[in-house]
Homo-oligomer: A and B are copies of this chain.
Amino acid sequence: MASKSDQPTNRLQAELKKRRPFDSPHQEAVLNVLRTNDQFQNKFGRLFRHYGLTASQYNVLRILRGEAKPMPCLEIADRMIQVVPAITGLIDRLEAQELVIRQRCREDRRVVFVALTDKARKLLDTMDEPVMSLHRGLMGHLTQLELKELSRLLEKARQRVDSAQLPGDQTPSP
C-alpha cells in the first residue's frame, strides 16, 4: 500500500522496489553493479550446474587450462579473487570428481601442484560453446561501442578501490 507519492522514477529503483530515490548517483551506480552481478552469477550458476560444476569450480578449471600446466594451489587462489582457505575445499571437490589431481612438488615439499585431467579437458571443451553463447546472450544486445565503454567505465571504477578509505582505516598510501 504505497502512498501516491512513492512512485519510483527509475528502473533500478523499481527493480529493488525502493520507495525513495537513491542518495547519490554514486550509490546508484554501485548498486547497479551489484545487481547486475547477481543476475549474471545466477545465470552462469545454472549453466555450470547443468554440467555438475559450480562457478568457482569452473573458474579453477579455466585457469588451469589457460596456464596449460600444473599450478600450485596458492597461485590458483591468487587468480581467483578469493582468499586462501577456500581453495583447499574447492580442489578437494574437483579431485573427488576426478577433474584434477594433486601432486606434491619434490624440490619444495611445501607446494602442491594441481593438474587437469583429460576428463576435465573434455568437459571444458563441451562447455565452451554454451558458455560463449551465454556471454553473447547476456551482452549481445549492446553495441560494440557500448561494450567497450562499459568495460572502460568499470575499469575506471576499479582504479580507486584500493585507495577508498574505510572508517577504521589508518593507512592511506604512503
Q: Name A's B-contacting residues (CB within 8 A).
A: 11-12, 15-20, 23-30, 32-43, 46-47, 50, 66-67, 78-79, 81, 130, 132-142, 144, 146-151, 153-161, 163-168
Known: A32-B150, A42-B81. 14 other contacts (CB 8 A): A26-B135, A32-B151, A32-B155, A33-B154, A34-B41, A36-B158, A43-B161, A46-B166, A50-B168, A130-B167, A133-B165, A138-B164, A142-B157, A146-B153
**Could you say which residues of chain B place their CB within 8 Å of the CB of A16?**
79
**Could you say which residues of chain B place their CB within 8 Å of the CB of A36?**
33, 37, 154, 157-158
B12 touches A67 (CB 8 A): no
B154 touches A26 (CB 8 A): no
**Could you say which residues of chain B place their CB within 8 Å of the CB of A24?**
132, 135-136
For A79, A137, A164, A166, the residue with the greatest tally of chain B CB atoms inside 10 Å of its CB is A164
**Could you say which residues of chain B place their CB within 8 Å of the CB of A151?**
12, 25, 28-29, 32
In the complex formed, the residue of B with least CB distance to A156 is B142
